[in-house]
């Protein structure tokens, strides 16, 4: 090997080593930036979580607020609330629908799913009111007025929690009602009254409060009323058990309870 070739090779090798030494710190910095970026998006080491919450229809509005509040405090967690009548939600769970959390409007429905859920926790309570068309043109004053055959009354089906509660309070007052229709959930009852398809209907107090410009709410005295309990539980089929448990636990925190109170729900 000639002396000239040997010196040139040494110089090239040295230059390559210097370049590599300069690039290593840059690569490390790039790696750190990527890691921080992923953690910021996922809220926990780059992992994002999507939770599906099956919620009773009467929770539609308040859970829309709860969803936004929780997601803001837990970056990387994306919550989808799927509202329906409690009996519909139970059917979905039994059929294996992919979901993480269940919240029903009664303990009976939740108790019927013991093999599918974790330990439930009651997060709120509610009471019934009579929803009438705006201005209460039929002058409905109480439960006994609903027995007037001239009055078009809509109720929820007996398989729905609010339907069972309605039957309970009407039976206790010996009031016989022939509803013009029986609906699959409380929001459908409210809608019938809002649209003028019924003169009155029994709904939860919180549902009537969502349409103050469209319906009037006639109070049912506590002694004649029923108390609805809302249990929340994780679903055993969830693929996000820890995150689901975290959301259920959060529903009992002061922050979540304030959201529920502001919407008219009572303390558990």
Q: Please check the confidence at residue 250 and state whether its pLDDT lies above 60.
A: yes
What pLDDT shows up at residue 134? 95
Three-state helix/strand/coil letters over 256-267? HHHHHHHCCCEC
Please list the residues that pair with 228 across neighbouring strands.
126
Q: Please check the confidence at residue 206 and state whether its pLDDT lies above 50.
A: yes
Q: Do the strands 77-84 and 49-56 form a parallel or antiparallel pair, or are they unpaired?
A: parallel
CB 242 within 8 A of CB 165: no
Q: Render the burial of 117-129: b for 16+ CB within 10 Å, e for the rest.
A: bbebbebbebbbb
* Mean pLDDT, residues 167-175: 98
Beta-carbon count within 10 A of 80 CB: 12
**Percent of the chain's residues with pLDDT above 70:** 83
User: 60: pLDDT confidence band, cut at 50, 70 and 90?
Assistant: very high
Q: What is the mean pLDDT of the chain?
A: 87
What pLDDT shows up at residue 12? 45
Distances, alpha carbon 151 to alpha carbons 137, 141, 144, 168, 258, in Å: 11, 13, 11, 20, 38
CB 210 within 8 A of CB 181: no
User: 46: pLDDT confidence band, cut at 50, 70 and 90?
Assistant: very low
Identify the DSSP state of 149.
T
CA distance 229 to 234: 17
Q: Please check the confidence at residue 19 and state whether its pLDDT lies above 60.
A: no
Model pTM? 0.81
Beta-carbon count within 10 A of 51 CB: 23
Spacing of C-alpha 155 from chain mean position: 23
What pLDDT shows up at residue 6? 43
CA distance 174 to 169: 9
Domains of the chain: 49-125+229-262 (3.40.190.10), 126-227 (3.40.190.10)
* Mean pLDDT, residues 171-194: 97
């Amino acid at each position: 090997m000639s002396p000239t070739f040997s010196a040139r090779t040494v110089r090239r090798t040295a230059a390559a080593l210097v370049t590599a030494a300069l690039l290593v710190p840059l690569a490390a910095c790039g790696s750190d930036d990527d890691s921080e970026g992923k953690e910021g998006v996922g809220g926990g080491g780059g992992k994002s979580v999507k939770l599906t919450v099956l919620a009773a229809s009467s929770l539609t509005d308040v859970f829309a607020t709860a969803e936004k509040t929780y997601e803001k405090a837990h970056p990387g967690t994306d919550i989808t609330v799927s509202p329906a009548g409690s009996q519909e939600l139970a059917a979905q769970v039994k059929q294996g629908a992919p979901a993480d959390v269940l919240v029903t409007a009664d303990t009976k429905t939740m108790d019927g799913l013991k093999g599918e859920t974790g330990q439930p926790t009651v997060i709120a309570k509610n009471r019934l009111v009579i929803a009438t068309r705006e201005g209460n043109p039929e002058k409905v004053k109480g439960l006994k007025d609903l027995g007037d055959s001239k009055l078009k009354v809509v109720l929820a089906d007996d398989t729905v929690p609010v339907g069972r509660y309605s039957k309970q309070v009407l039976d206790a007052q010996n009031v016989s009602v022939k509803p013009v229709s029986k609906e699959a959930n409380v929001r459908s009852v409210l809608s019938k009254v809002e649209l003028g398809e019924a003169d009155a209907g029994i709904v939860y107090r919180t549902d009537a409060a969502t349409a103050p410009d469209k319906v009037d709410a006639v109070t049912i005295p506590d002694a004649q009323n029923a108390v609805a309990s809302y249990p929340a539980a994780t679903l055993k089929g969830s693929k996000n058990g820890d995150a689901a448990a975290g959301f259920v636990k959060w529903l009992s925190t002061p922050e979540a309870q304030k959201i529920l109170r502001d919407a008219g729900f009572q303390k558990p």
